[in-house]
Amino acid sequence: MSLNGLIMIATDTERELEFQAKIDRGEVIEPKDWMPERYRKQLIRMMSQHAHSEVVGMLPEGNWITRAPSLARKAILLAKVQDEGGHGLYIYSAAETLGIDRGEMIDQLHTGKAKYSSIFNYPTLNWADIGAIGWLVDGAAIVNQTALAKCSYGPYSRAMIRICKEENFHHKQGYQMLAYMMRGTKEQQEMAQDSMNRFWWPALMMFGPSDTDSPNSAELMRWKVKLYSNDDLRQRFIDRTVPQAEAIGLVIPDPKLKFNETTRHYEHGEIDWQEFKNVVSGNGPCNRERLRARVKADADGKWVRDAAEAYAKKHMN
């Protein structure tokens, strides 16, 4: 190897050490700062998947806009679904600061190269599912995103601050809807419990595989992209959600769930990781339907993008 080559290696190692020292001092990394290629790639992977989740997440809820039982519920649901679209846009923009184009990220979603959250591959079968998504799915997202709001990459952490505020509204409207149903007729109570039974375990899976099975966690935690492990965040979600379920009379569908007086945490039953793997690898109940809907929406919207581009070109000349 040439002397020049050796000098470059030494320089890169020094830069990586300085980068790590910066992270350890709690400093924030901004787009123009030097960063290891692997840090950039990991953030693009995670942020693009996050943005895709927000956008794909509009589909199961969007299905219910025309079937909302009252004008007020319809207005709330419309606002929530629009918020999710906005979250996707903030996060795509934040990811673009890492040198990737939004079109490329969307292509990765459409060709199955990029993932999105497993939770959106489950169907919404009844109106209570809209409550469960707000309470459990947004509730899980808040636990995860409150931590991400303190992550080391500036544009991502700043996007999370506004997103978390909106997710809090989503979470409260979902819980309020289920609380209302649990005070209603026997049929409403059964519908709410049925939804809880179907969404509880998939919500726990949102936090990703258990720590011993999470290939990306160690690196992401060293770089303070992740501040807590998948299992720690899952536990935090369980601890805060179980008392909320009990307060409105919903039963958690886990016979092994019990509060440990010594650790002050809930212990839970085994998560079905085989189901998680199936869903993540494209074989969940709605994977194909969700991707088809996104690909169609993209194709249907092409004329708008073309028109905007033609207009921009005309006015730039």
Residue ranges in contact with ligand BYC by CB under 6 A: 45-46, 49-50, 53-54, 57, 84, 115, 117-118, 133, 137-138, 141, 144, 205-209, 214-217, 220, 230, 280
CB of 301 to ligand BYC, least distance (A): 19
CB of 187 to ligand BYC, least distance (A): 26
CB of 55 to ligand BYC, least distance (A): 8
CB closest to ligand BYC, residue no: 57
CB of 185 to ligand BYC, least distance (A): 27
Cβ proximity of 253 and 197 under 8 Å: yes
Identify which of 157, 229, 227, 224 has the alpha carbon closest to the alpha carbon of residue 22. 224
Of the pair 26, 215, the CB lying nearest ligand BYC is at: 215
Q: What span, in angstroms and rounded, lies between the C-alpha atoms of 290 and 29?
A: 34
Identify which of 91, 237, 118, 47 has the alpha carbon closest to the alpha carbon of residue 39. 47
Of the pair 189, 236, the CB lying nearest ligand BYC is at: 236
Identify which of 126, 132, 274 has the alpha carbon closest to the alpha carbon of residue 209. 274
Contacts of 216 (CB under 8 A, 6+ apart): 42, 46
CB of 149 to ligand BYC, least distance (A): 11
Of the pair 249, 285, the CB lying nearest ligand BYC is at: 285
CB of 298 to ligand BYC, least distance (A): 18
Q: What span, in angstroms and rounded, lies between the C-alpha atoms of 313 and 269?
A: 58
Q: What span, in angstroms and rounded, lies between the C-alpha atoms of 227 and 208?
A: 14
Q: Which residues lie across from 259 on neighbouring strands?
A: 266
Of the pair 266, 284, the CB lying nearest ligand BYC is at: 284
Of the pair 175, 189, the CB lying nearest ligand BYC is at: 175
Q: What span, in angstroms and rounded, lies between the C-alpha atoms of 170 and 174?
A: 6
Of the pair 189, 280, the CB lying nearest ligand BYC is at: 280
